[in-house]
Amino acid sequence: MAKNDFSLGFLQYLMTSKISISKISKSMDRLHIDPCKNLEFVSPNNVKVAVCPLEIQNYSSIGDYLSQLEQLVRAAAGGGAQLICFPEYSGVLPAFALPSFEKTALKLAELIRAGDSGLKEEFRSMADNLIAPVLDAFLYSMEQLSGRFAIPIMAGSALVMEDDKIYNRFYFFSSSGEIVSTYDKIHLSSVEKMLGIEPGKKLEAFDCELGRAAMLAGNDLQYFEPVKILSRQGTSLLCTGWAKPAGETDLSMIRAAEGNLFILKSHLLGGSRIGTDFNGVSSVLAPFPITREKDGVMARVTEEEGAPPFALVRLDLEKQGEVFNIYTYDTNTEFYKEYLLSSYEK
């Protein structure tokens, strides 16, 4: 057995023993969570949402990981939140409860920077050993948090292996802890393409306890088509998570205006210890006329002293029908047919 195979196999053993469902369940029991009552009365003109960024960090144990999530959900629920959104790749964070995982992630980052020809093989070997136990830990944690607090959670995304292919999949949980909908990221980053991650193929809005919702990754917001499609499916709340590399353009504010919907955007942050640099401002965005300052921002996470580590704001979903923007509503069907559609032909 090669040294790397042994290391990954040992890491898998640690995952299944130290981040098991039974350990997570015991840790959850020690947190003494009582269900909130935020969904006893739900009105479309008074919906309260929260966006919670997460930072890549090492955890001393799975209990430490759960404690961080629990504190965020408890604080947001205590503020009246009826929906909480977490960032892209939040489902990878349970792996950082193992001391040796940082070394594995750092090695992968080095291969990415070097453009090494063995990158896909290395990533696949890691995925074969780690995806299943990490995904189980993530999904069970989010199931327990949403169900025990009785609050819907857009959990962010995790790596999933299906039919020998790897996807970056987002999950939405109901207040009873059930998975309401999933979404496989369509517009992959350059790194995801290098790793051989498979793009998704479906965009679909769904009904949740607060209204019509949908999920996208931050990269999807770089293109107008996904938002336009979901807007036409009646989406009011577009939940997005983003692991945005430093320096990458953020067009989410424009997409909220174009789609005439609310965008809840949570960012994954940090990662310098494993050779990455993710940044961005987690925020709740809306069409410009709806926002107080006419700048498209309903609320954003700030670094001011004493400020909460999340953004919390009330939304009036009925205001969507009051917005009219001649630049986005004047649709030229003939132009689409003759010029725009031809640009997609191979």
- 22 contact partners, CB below 8 Å, separation of at least 6: none
| pLDDT surpassing 60 at residue 9 | no
Domain segments of the chain: what residues?
2-21+37-343
Tell me: the pLDDT tens digits for 21-59? 888 888 888 989 999 999 999 999 999 999 999 999 999
Strand, coil or helix: what is 317? helix
- 40 contact partners, CB below 8 Å, separation of at least 6: none
Q: CB of 263 within 8 A of CB of 285?
A: yes
pLDDT value, residue 129: 83
Tell me: the pLDDT tens digits for 240-281? 999 999 888 999 999 999 899 999 999 999 988 777 889 999
Give start and end residues of each alpha helix (H) in the chain: 3-18, 21-30, 62-78, 101-114, 119-149, 190-195, 224-232, 252-259, 326-329, 333-335
Q: CB of 318 within 8 A of CB of 286?
A: no
H or E, element range at 283: strand 283-285
What is the C-alpha radius of gyration for the chain, rounded to an integer number of angstroms?
20
- For the chain, what is the mean pLDDT? 89
Question: pLDDT band at 323, cuts 50/70/90?
Answer: confident
pLDDT value, residue 115: 83
Phi, psi of 147 (to 5 degrees): -70, -45
Q: Is domain 2-21+37-343 classified as CATH 3.40.50.2300?
A: no
The span from the CA of 182 to the CA of 158, in Å, is 11
State which amino acid sits at residue 195: L
CA dihedral for 10, 15, 20, 24, sign (positive or negative): positive
CA dihedral for 92, 52, 319, 225, sign (positive or negative): negative
Tell me: the pLDDT tens digits for 84-118? 999 999 999 999 988 778 888 888 888 888 887 78
Structure tokens at 118: 């063995």
Strand partners, 293: none
Give the mean model confidence (pLDDT) for residues 305-315.
92
The span from the CA of 230 to the CA of 225, in Å, is 9
Phi, psi of 201 (to 5 degrees): -135, 5
CA separation, residue 171 to residues 7, 156, 175, 212, 327 (Å): 30, 6, 13, 15, 33
The span from the CA of 305 to the CA of 106, in Å, is 32
Structure tokens at 211: 């209204």
